[in-house]
Structure 1
Amino acid sequence: MNIAMIATEKLPVPAIRGGAIQIYIQSTAELIARQHQVTVFSIRDPRLENDETARGVHYIRLNKEHYLDDLADTLRKNHYDLIHVCNRPAWISRLKEAAQDSKFILSVHNEMFAEGKISEEDGTACVRNIAGMVTVSDFIGKTITQRFPEAKDKTRTVYSGVDLAAYHPAWTDQGRAIRKEMRARAQLEGKRIVLFVGRLSKVKGPHILLQAIPEIADKHPDAMLVFVGSKWFDDDKVNNYVRHLYTLGAMHPEQVTFIKFIKPRDIPNLYSMADLFVCCSQWQEPLARVHYEAMAAGLPIITTNRGGNAEVIEEGRNGLIIDRFDDPQEYAHAINDLFDHEDVRAQMGRNGRRIAEQKYGWQRVADQLLEVYQKA
Structure 2
Amino acid sequence: MKIALIATEKLPVPAVKGGAIQIYLDAVAQIIKQKHEVTIFSITHPDLADNEQNNGVHYVRFPEKQYVNSIVNYVKDASFDVIHVCNRPLWIKQIHDASPRSKLVLSVHNEMFANEKISDAEGDECVSLVSQIVTVSDYIGETITSRFPQAKSKVQTVYSGVDVNKFHPAWTKEGSAAKKNVRQKLDLANKKVILFVGRLSKVKGPHILLQALPQIIDKHPDAVMVFIGSKWFGEDNINNYVKHLYTLGAKYADHVRFIKFVKPSEISSLFTMSDVFVCSSQWQEPLARVHYEAMACGLPMITSNRGGNPEVINEGKNGMVITDFENPSAYAGAINSLLNSSNKCEQMGRNGRSVVEKGFRWEHVAHNLQTVYENSAKL
TM-score, scaled to structure 2: 0.99
Map of 1:263 onto structure 2 = 263
Map of 1:102 onto structure 2 = 102
Q: 2:354, 2:69 → 1: CA distance?
A: 45
Letter aligned with residue 13 of structure 1: V
Q: 2:14, 2:54 → 1: CA distance?
A: 10
Map of 1:208 onto structure 2 = 208
Q: 1:102, 1:359 → 2: CA distance?
A: 30
Q: 2:132, 2:356 → 1: CA distance?
A: 26
Map of 2:228 onto structure 1 = 228
Map of 2:18 onto structure 1 = 18
Unmatched tracts of structure 1, length 5 or more:
none
Q: 1:292, 1:368 → 2: CA distance?
A: 17
Q: 1:17, 1:276 → 2: CA distance?
A: 25
Map of 2:62 onto structure 1 = 62
Q: 1:8, 1:365 → 2: CA distance?
A: 19
Over the residues paired in the alignment, what is the CA RMSD in angstroms? 0.5
Q: Does 1:130 align with 2:165?
A: no
Offset of 1:77 from its aligned partner? 2.0
Residues 69-122 of structure 1: per-residue CA shift (max 9 Å, x gap): 111100112110000000000100011000011000000000000000111111
Secondary structure of residue in 2 paired with 1:302: strand
Letter aligned with residue 287 of structure 2: L
Q: 2:149, 2:29 → 1: CA distance?
A: 30
Q: 2:216, 2:104 → 1: CA distance?
A: 50
Offset of 1:220 from its aligned partner? 0.2
Offset of 1:342 from its aligned partner? 1.4
Q: 1:290, 1:55 → 2: CA distance?
A: 26
Offset of 1:54 from its aligned partner? 1.2
Map of 1:85 onto structure 2 = 85
How many corresponding residue pairs? Answer: 376
Letter aligned with residue 52 of structure 2: E
Offset of 1:231 from its aligned partner? 0.1
Offset of 1:167 from its aligned partner? 0.6
Secondary structure of residue in 1 paired with 2:253: coil
Letter aligned with residue 68 of structure 2: L
Offset of 1:254 from its aligned partner? 1.2
Offset of 1:211 from its aligned partner? 0.1
Letter aligned with residue 109 of structure 2: H
Q: Does 1:352 align with 2:357?
A: no
Q: How does 1:106-255 map to 2 (within 5 A)?
A: 106-255=106-255
Q: 1:71, 1:58 → 2: CA distance?
A: 14
Q: 2:323, 2:354 → 1: CA distance?
A: 25
Residues 147-197 of structure 1: per-residue CA shift (max 9 Å, x gap): 000100001000000010001100011100000000000011110000000
Map of 1:47 onto structure 2 = 47
Letter aligned with residue 208 of structure 1: I
Offset of 1:63 from its aligned partner? 1.4
Secondary structure of residue in 1 paired with 2:152: helix
Secondary structure of residue in 2 paired with 1:78: coil
Q: 1:40, 1:177 → 2: CA distance?
A: 36
Q: 1:171, 1:78 → 2: CA distance?
A: 49
Q: 1:234, 1:247 → 2: CA distance?
A: 22
Map of 1:75 onto structure 2 = 75
Provide runs of 4+ in structure 1 moved above 2 Å. none
Q: 1:255, 1:120 → 2: CA distance?
A: 50
Secondary structure of residue in 1 paired with 2:267: helix
TM-score, scaled to structure 1: 1.00
Secondary structure of residue in 2 paired with 1:221: coil
Residues 20-55 of structure 1: per-residue CA shift (max 9 Å, x gap): 000000000110001100000000000000001112
- Percent of aligned pairs sharing the same letter: 57
Residues 185-232 of structure 1: per-residue CA shift (max 9 Å, x gap): 001111000000000000000000000010000010000000000000
Q: 1:292, 1:284 → 2: CA distance?
A: 18
